[in-house]
A and B are shown apart, each in its own frame.
Chain A
Amino acid sequence: MYGFEAMTFNVHSGYLEAIVRGYRSGLLTAADYNNLCQCETLDDIKMHLSATEYGPYLQNEPSPLHTTTIVEKCTLKLVDEYKHMLCQATEPLSTFLEYITYGHMIDNVVLIVTGTLHERDVQELLEKCHPLGMFDSIATLAVAQNMRELYRLVLVDTPLAPYFSECITSEDLDDMNIEIMRNTLYKAYLEDFYRFCKKLGGATAEIMSDLLSFEADRRAVNITINSIGTELTREDRKNLYSSFGLLYPYGHEELAACEDIDQVRAVMEKYPPYQSIFSKLSYGESQMLDKAFYEEEVKRLCLSFEQQFHFGVFFAYMRLKEQEIRNLMWISECVAQNQKSRVHDSVVFIF
């Protein structure tokens, strides 16, 4: 053990650790996924899910079901569980739990700003926002014309305010600026979360450092692959990578110069933890990369439950639940499109 967490952790956080471990045992198993993969229609999926903890959330949904409805209702369950934990948490766990939602907050800000730029109705955009990332003044984002106004009018009073210092300009918002803003905010958020976990120390720092470093490295790879063939310069690309992680700083230098997937592979294979990920892919192919990364992430998240008296289990549970929702989304899409042969392309079993 790292310190004396065993003596004091349960005083404030023992109940919630027990709660989250109980939630974990409610995650879908391989047998559940096998049943779901054999469904013929979305109503069959609803019937199978009615026997799980998602049952109460889907039982009142009328036919015909849509895949987006299934995802929304399953997400509502995650939100209810999160709110239950947050309202019972004391410091520093409450701050830790809030940090977990800042990524969704950033996504919602970008969605509102992008939609407003495209002259969409604000109410319609609010309905599409992730519920974990909502905050009070989110609707007033629609009035901002540039990042300075965005910050001054709305975001200065939100938890995202400290992350704006690196991207405040008076340039009008356009699609490229918004993308850079999204990635810059996310980078600042990850670095801040990393520093916070390090400050907590003990098992939390050790386990969360590993999980957040993996997240930062995966983001770096995704930014590299997604920016191949675009107008993003090498320097701009490098500025979007986080300042921590296994790939920092030498891996980032090499990734910034990559111009195709094979060069990315050559860079990543120098790092032993990522060799196993890229060994699953054939040359020139990137289709299965997401699944390979998700599988590695799930492995690391499950391992965090092997230890007690740390906050990493809360982060791990939220991420595992999001993975489960992604699995359900994919299975629903394959069933709805009558493409059940492709269902195992993207499903990642948790247990």
Chain B
Amino acid sequence: MTMEQQQREEEKKPQTSENDKDEKVVQFLDSLNDYLTLMDSLSSALRQGWLELASARHSMGSWRINSATLDHKFHSASTTLQLSSPDDSNSNTNQPHFTLRKWESCDDEDFQSKEVKLDEDEVQKNSDDVQVQKERSKSLLVFGALVSPKLRDAQLSFETALETLVDIANRRSVMLSAYDHVREEILGTKQ
């Protein structure tokens, strides 16, 4: 390599590292923006859910919808949260990741087809949707078998809020990781 070519290579290196730093800052700001947007969505979903619940109490009567009817018998959760940490062999990310598994009794053997052919995908999807609806109705049975559509709407709003919460947790994990990268870059530059 000639002297001139060597000099050009030397000049490119700081520019490349500047581009990397900018990219990491942009990634951090993007993840921060997504995080704040999700927080706003969560706030809206919860507000809507609480108002719909109040509307359902107004419609059905506060003696039908109150905490005294909630079920204290032991029963398994219909929705669980799975956490995969970076140390897990199954994990392909370098930060913790949260996965929501909703209406888990839908995964019973009775309802899952083990050998699904390609042309049965649509049928399976419809069957799963029906099962999810059944599970939703089952969880509302504590308030009675015939509940107002407003209560079902409130259930959907809180379900959306739960999904948003999990997204927020994942987005926060990404945001903190991006922040760490930016900090490393800044500290590296100072040195």
Contacts and interface: CB of A to CB of B under 8 A. Distances in A.
Nearest to B137: A230
- Number of contact residues on B: which range applies? 20 to 34
Interface in A312-344: 326, 329-330, 333-334, 337, 339, 342
Given A226-B147, A342-B51, A125 B57 contact: no
Given A182-B144, A183-B146, A346 B55 contact: yes
B58 A329 contact: yes
A286 interface: yes
B183 interface: no
Nearest to B64: A107
A182 B137 CA distance: 18
Contact of B47 (A180, A225, A339): A339
A71 B61 CA distance: 11
Interface stretch (B20-28, B70-78, B154-162): B70-78
Dominant secondary structure at the A interface:
helix
Given A182-B144, A229-B133, A118 B51 contact: no
Interface string B66-96: 1011111100000000000000000000000
A290 B59 contact: yes
Interface in A99-120: 107-108, 110-111, 114-115, 118-120
A286 B146 contact: no
Interface residues of A, number: 45
Contacts of B39: none
B38 interface: no
A68 B150 CA distance: 19
Nearest to A261: B149
Interface in A176-198: 176, 178-180, 182-183
B54 interface: yes
Contacts of A84: none
Interface string A60-92: 000000001001000000000000000000000
A183 B133 CA distance: 24
Given A111-B69, A128-B68, A230 B150 contact: no
27 contacts: A107-B61, A107-B63, A107-B64, A108-B63, A111-B68, A114-B142, A118-B70, A118-B72, A118-B73, A120-B68, A125-B68, A128-B66, A129-B63, A130-B63, A175-B145, A176-B145, A178-B144, A223-B146, A225-B148, A226-B147, A230-B145, A290-B148, A329-B57, A329-B62, A333-B54, A342-B51, A346-B58
